[in-house]
Amino acid sequence: MLIKGIYHEQTGRNDLARIHIADLKQNIKILQVTDSHITEADERDPEAEAHAKNRGSGLFYKETPTGESCLNVFKKTMTMGRESGANGCVLTGDIIDFPTWKNIDELNHVIKGFEAPVHFTPGNHDWSFPDHWDTTAQQKYYPRLDGLTNNNPSYQSTELCGVRLISLDNSAYQVSHEQVEFLKQELAKGQPSLLLIHIPLWIESLAPDVIKQWGAPIMMATQHGWTNEKRERWKVEGNDPSTLECYELLTQGKSDNLAGIFCGHVHLSHTDSYREGRYQYVTEQGYTGGYRMIELVKA
């Protein structure tokens, strides 16, 4: 049933989301990739060489499809998306494992070869190094992402074939008042929209899998499950008022033209509604070959 012009078809597939939207100008296909954790470094970031070796040839190397680099897996996924005729691509964070210039150069090179618009949303790894993840790291390395985000990693939007793609960087588990106001303004335009974030919105049915995987409820606007020890480890002090305001806007407020939320972060696949007729899609990690094709279909 179309609920205010939008219907989510249950495809039963982790790699496919199909959303029917009334008055859509045309059918649209969008590739979503998240959590590719590319681990390249060179002499421009000498302090990152150990990270590149330990995480690239160690941690992630063990889980890539054929023991290849995370970069090669990302390239193959993007090539598949281009050859499938995708109208665009959304990258929802942690595409790079740390913000070395080599990682950023490689990412830009692949994006340029996609031959369709690519929309980038930061994750916590995109602006931090494994031993430096806090607000000072974000302030220091955020500018390196300017070229990927139209000079504003915090929030941005673009239009693709009549659909508005809205990005909010919630990679520190919070969103600011300024970000919430931006989201309201974008939604007020009335276009069918997708929200692209890195960290999933709290959904009760998602919590057990996340806690099993990570030992903590690492979601945005989490309702329960934190301990003081886990908050200190993950650097999540609580829910800011602006974060709760955003949660209320998405789950109860004037956001009916938001067709869906697409995210990653937790390295698993999950699909469920966050309000009646509106679904959040958490997509599998890219370095193991995961992706999701988003099909927006004229209703």
Amino acid 164: pLDDT:
97
Model confidence pLDDT, tens digit, residues 21-36: 998 989 999 999 999 9
Query: What value does the mean pLDDT of the chain take?
Result: 94
Calpha distance 205→268 (Å, rounded): 13
**Block residue for tokens 């070395």:** 100
Model confidence pLDDT, tens digit, residues 182-225: 999 999 999 999 999 999 999 999 999 999 999 999 999 999 99
Model confidence pLDDT, tens digit, residues 99-132: 999 999 999 999 999 999 999 999 999 999 887 7
Among the residue ranges 47-56, 73-82, 106-115, the one predicted with the least confidence is: 47-56
CB 72 within 8 A of CB 101: no
Structure tokens at 132: 């430096």
Amino acid 274: pLDDT:
97
Amino acid 59: pLDDT:
64
Q: Which CATH class is domain 6-298?
A: alpha beta
Q: Is residue 228 scored above 70 in pLDDT?
A: yes
Alpha helices per DSSP H over 124-258: 135-141, 177-187, 207-214, 228-234, 241-251
Structure tokens at 137: 């790291």
Domain ranges of the chain: 6-298
Work out the pLDDT band at 61, boundaries 50, 70, 90.
Answer: low
- Cross-strand pairs, 31: 89, 293
- Please measure the distance between the N-terminal and C-terminal CA atoms of the chain and give it in whole angstroms: 11
Residues 6 or more apart in contact with residue 217 via CB below 8 angstroms = 202, 207, 210, 211, 224, 225, 226
Phi, psi of 155 (to 5 degrees): -160, 150
Amino acid 57: pLDDT:
62
Q: Is residue 135 scored above 80 in pLDDT?
A: no
Handedness of CA 279, 248, 93, 26 (dihedral sign): positive
